[in-house]
């Protein structure tokens, strides 16, 4: 057994064990931490297969943004997960149906790769030689040449979704003083200064 096979089994075992702990841990913070461990080991598996771009995406996007966001949301909202889990059995039929669909898709993909092993070679875009060009550079060439318009459209969709989420969740409180720059600039001495005549022996 070579060194690459040893690392593969090590990363795969830790990833599967951590994925099981994600759904079995009682503390939601521990679940998020185990999820981060799953992403780390999945990135290691991608590195072993030569897909360094996917490994970088897992580390930068999922661990650096998504998982950390989950962790802060869980810690700051103080959600009562015991109450949420009390009615989880009513969603069991839907979960089982989705699991069967995913299992059927995996069987079709694995069975297709076994029955027709030459299917991976029938792709339209040639795979560059790793010694001449890296995987990340090749993906960049494809994204920013053949699919640049679709890439920009996806960015606009994400931008609109982000703005919509901010607008929907923004709530203005009435009992908080807010700064209005236009009113401050438009102030005049007549509106800014108030002259009060105080009678002798009385306060303001």
Our CA angle for 6, 118, 12, nearest 5°, is 20
Contacts of 204 (CB under 8 A, 6+ apart): 196, 198
Average pLDDT score over residue span 142-158: 87
Q: Please tell me the pTM assigned to this model.
A: 0.55
- The answer to whether the CB of 89 falls within 8 A of the CB of 78 is no
Q: Is 108 exposed, middle or buried (0-12, 13-18, 19+ CB in 10 A)?
A: exposed
Higher pLDDT, 35 or 122: 35
Nearest to 45 by CA among 92, 10, 19, 77: 10
Q: Is 139 exposed, middle or buried (0-12, 13-18, 19+ CB in 10 A)?
A: middle
List pLDDT tens digits, range 29-60.
788 888 888 888 888 888 888 778 888 888 88
Nearest to 47 by CA among 130, 145, 171: 130
Average pLDDT score over residue span 150-170: 84
| In the predicted structure, residue 73 carries a pLDDT above the cut 80 | no
| In the predicted structure, residue 173 carries a pLDDT above the cut 80 | no
Cα atoms found within 13 Å of the Cα of residue 78, Cβ hemisphere only: 0
Average pLDDT over the chain, rounded to an integer: 78
Our CA angle for 10, 11, 12, nearest 5°, is 90
Contacts of 30 (CB under 8 A, 6+ apart): 21
Domains of the chain, first to last: 1-85 (1.20.120.1200)
How far is the C-alpha of 127 from the C-alpha of 49, rounded, in Å? 14
List pLDDT tens digits, range 178-195.
777 888 888 887 777 877
């Amino acid at each position: 057994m070579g060194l690459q096979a040893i690392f593969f089994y090590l990363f795969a075992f830790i990833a599967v064990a951590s994925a099981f702990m994600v759904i079995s841990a009682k503390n939601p913070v521990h679940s998020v931490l185990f999820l981060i461990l799953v992403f780390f080991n999945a990135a290691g598996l991608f590195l072993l297969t030569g897909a360094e771009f996917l490994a970088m995406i897992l580390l930068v996007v999922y661990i650096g943004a998504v998982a950390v966001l989950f962790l802060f949301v869980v810690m700051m909202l103080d959600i009562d997960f015991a109450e949420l889990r009390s009615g989880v059995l009513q969603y069991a039929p839907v979960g089982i149906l989705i699991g069967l669909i995913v299992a059927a898709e995996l069987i079709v993909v694995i069975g297709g790769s076994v029955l027709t092993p030459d299917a991976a070679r029938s792709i339209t875009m040639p795979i560059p030689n790793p010694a001449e060009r890296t995987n990340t550079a090749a993906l960049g060439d494809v994204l920013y040449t053949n699919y640049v318009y679709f890439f920009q459209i996806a960015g606009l969709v994400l931008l609109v979704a982000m703005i919509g989420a901010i607008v929907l969740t923004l709530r203005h409180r009435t009992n908080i003083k807010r700064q209005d720059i236009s009113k401050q600039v438009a102030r005049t001495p007549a509106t800014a200064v108030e002259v009060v005549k105080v009678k002798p022996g009385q306060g303001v």
